Amino acid sequence: NGMVYVRGHARDFDHWAEQGATGWRFADVLPYFKRMEDSNGGENGWRGHDGPLTVQRGSRTNPL
């Protein structure tokens, strides 16, 4: 069992904005993603560090 957190692709957000969804460019929504994340990895500026949602890379411990 596991839980996976994945942001949408930046191009999808940008496409929605091009189609008229004002405020939905990836650059517009990135601050909201960062605000909800608490990540101990990743690049500064790309991930949040003080939010309520813990985000971390999964481990590959299955020997199969």
- Indicate the fold that domain 10-54 takes in CATH: Arc Repressor Mutant (1.10.1220)
Q: What separation in angstroms does the CA of 45 have from each of 2, 16, 37, 61?
A: 27, 23, 12, 29
Three-state SS letters, 8-59: CCHHHHHHHHHCCCCCCCHHHHHHHHHHHEEECCCCECCECECCCEEECCCC
- Statement: residue 57 has pLDDT above 90: no
Query: pLDDT tens for residues 10-55?
Result: 999 999 999 999 999 999 999 999 999 999 876 778 899 999 999 8
- Write down the pLDDT at residue 26: 98
* pTM value surpassing 0.85: no
